[in-house]
Amino acid sequence: GDSVTQMEGPVTLSEEAFLTINCTYTATGYPSLFWYVQYPGEGLQLLLKATKADDKGSNKGFEATYRKETTSFHLEKGSVQVSDSAVYFCALSSGSGGSNYKLTFGKGTLLTVNP
Protein backbone atom coordinates (compact mmCIF):
# COMPACT_ATOMS: atom_id res chain seq x y z
CA GLY A 1 0.00 0.00 0.00
CA ASP A 2 0.91 3.66 -0.05
CA SER A 3 3.34 4.96 2.52
CA VAL A 4 5.26 8.09 3.48
CA THR A 5 8.59 8.10 5.23
CA GLN A 6 9.90 11.30 6.65
CA MET A 7 12.95 12.25 8.57
CA GLU A 8 12.66 11.52 12.25
CA GLY A 9 13.08 14.36 14.60
CA PRO A 10 13.31 16.23 16.64
CA VAL A 11 15.20 18.81 14.62
CA THR A 12 16.66 21.74 16.52
CA LEU A 13 18.06 24.75 14.66
CA SER A 14 19.17 28.25 15.41
CA GLU A 15 17.28 31.16 13.91
CA GLU A 16 18.27 31.90 10.29
CA ALA A 17 19.63 28.40 9.75
CA PHE A 18 18.81 26.37 6.64
CA LEU A 19 16.14 23.71 7.02
CA THR A 20 15.67 20.44 5.19
CA ILE A 21 13.15 17.80 6.20
CA ASN A 22 13.36 14.74 4.01
CA CYS A 23 10.27 12.94 2.76
CA THR A 24 10.05 9.93 0.45
CA TYR A 25 6.99 8.03 -0.61
CA THR A 26 5.75 4.79 -2.07
CA ALA A 27 2.57 4.90 -4.09
CA THR A 28 0.81 3.43 -7.06
CA GLY A 29 -0.33 5.80 -9.73
CA TYR A 30 0.31 9.51 -9.56
CA PRO A 31 -0.36 10.91 -6.11
CA SER A 32 -0.47 14.52 -5.10
CA LEU A 33 2.00 15.47 -2.38
CA PHE A 34 1.52 17.79 0.56
CA TRP A 35 3.26 19.33 3.52
CA TYR A 36 1.12 20.18 6.51
CA VAL A 37 2.19 22.06 9.63
CA GLN A 38 0.77 21.64 13.12
CA TYR A 39 1.37 24.21 15.81
CA PRO A 40 1.02 23.14 19.44
CA GLY A 41 -2.55 22.34 20.41
CA GLU A 42 -3.91 23.05 16.95
CA GLY A 43 -5.08 21.16 13.90
CA LEU A 44 -3.15 20.84 10.67
CA GLN A 45 -2.64 23.67 8.22
CA LEU A 46 -1.79 23.08 4.61
CA LEU A 47 1.66 24.53 4.01
CA LEU A 48 2.20 23.65 0.36
CA LYS A 49 1.40 21.04 -2.24
CA ALA A 50 2.40 19.70 -5.63
CA THR A 51 0.15 17.70 -7.91
CA LYS A 52 2.51 16.37 -10.56
CA ALA A 53 6.13 15.53 -11.20
CA ASP A 54 8.57 18.47 -11.20
CA ASP A 55 5.99 20.81 -9.66
CA LYS A 56 7.37 23.03 -6.92
CA GLY A 57 5.11 23.99 -4.07
CA SER A 58 6.01 27.09 -2.08
CA ASN A 59 4.58 29.14 0.74
CA LYS A 60 5.95 31.38 3.52
CA GLY A 61 9.52 30.78 2.39
CA PHE A 62 9.13 27.00 2.39
CA GLU A 63 9.60 25.01 -0.80
CA ALA A 64 9.32 21.40 -1.91
CA THR A 65 9.72 19.85 -5.36
CA TYR A 66 7.90 16.72 -6.50
CA ARG A 67 10.67 14.39 -7.68
CA LYS A 68 9.20 11.33 -9.31
CA GLU A 69 12.58 9.80 -10.15
CA THR A 70 13.60 9.73 -6.51
CA THR A 71 10.02 9.53 -5.12
CA SER A 72 10.80 12.45 -2.85
CA PHE A 73 9.25 15.70 -1.68
CA HIS A 74 11.79 17.26 0.65
CA LEU A 75 10.83 20.42 2.52
CA GLU A 76 13.32 23.30 2.57
CA LYS A 77 13.55 26.81 3.94
CA GLY A 78 16.55 29.05 3.58
CA SER A 79 16.26 30.89 6.88
CA VAL A 80 14.05 29.60 9.67
CA GLN A 81 12.43 31.72 12.35
CA VAL A 82 11.39 30.94 15.90
CA SER A 83 7.77 31.08 14.74
CA ASP A 84 8.43 28.12 12.41
CA SER A 85 8.67 25.83 15.43
CA ALA A 86 5.99 23.18 14.88
CA VAL A 87 5.44 19.63 13.72
CA TYR A 88 5.64 19.11 9.97
CA PHE A 89 3.81 16.28 8.22
CA CYS A 90 4.45 15.02 4.72
CA ALA A 91 1.44 13.40 3.06
CA LEU A 92 0.25 11.94 -0.21
CA SER A 93 -3.22 11.53 -1.60
CA SER A 94 -4.38 8.40 -3.31
CA GLY A 95 -7.52 7.21 -5.01
CA SER A 96 -8.20 10.70 -6.32
CA GLY A 97 -11.18 9.91 -8.47
CA GLY A 98 -12.91 7.32 -6.41
CA SER A 99 -14.49 6.59 -3.08
CA ASN A 100 -11.20 5.31 -1.74
CA TYR A 101 -9.55 8.74 -1.78
CA LYS A 102 -7.57 9.45 1.35
CA LEU A 103 -4.40 11.02 2.69
CA THR A 104 -1.51 8.98 3.96
CA PHE A 105 0.70 10.80 6.45
CA GLY A 106 4.27 10.46 7.54
CA LYS A 107 4.97 10.30 11.25
CA GLY A 108 5.74 13.98 11.56
CA THR A 109 8.93 15.87 12.33
CA LEU A 110 9.15 18.20 15.29
CA LEU A 111 11.12 21.35 14.49
CA THR A 112 12.34 23.64 17.24
CA VAL A 113 14.00 26.91 16.31
CA ASN A 114 15.97 28.69 19.00
CA PRO A 115 16.62 32.45 19.03
Partner 1 sequence: GAVVSQHPSRVICKSGTSVKIECRSLDFQATTMFWYRQFPKQSLMLMATSNEGSKATYEQGVEKDKFLINHASLTLSTLTVTSAHPEDSSFYICSARDLGERTDTQYFGPGTRLTVL
Residues in contact with partner 1 by CB under 8 A are 32, 34, 36, 41-46, 49, 51, 89, 93, 96, 99, 101-103, 105-108, 110
Question: Smaller CB distance to partner 1: residue 17 or 110?
Answer: 110
Q: Is the dihedral of CA 19, 3, 49, 102 positive or negative?
A: negative
Q: Which is nearer to partner 1, 56 or 107 (CB)?
A: 107
Q: Which candidate, 71, 78, 73, 85, places its Cα nearest to that of 34?
A: 73
- Our CB check for partner 1 shows the closer of 18 and 60 to be 60
Q: Quick one: which H or E segment has residue 94?
A: strand 86-94
CA-wise closest residue to 66 among 108, 28, 31: 31
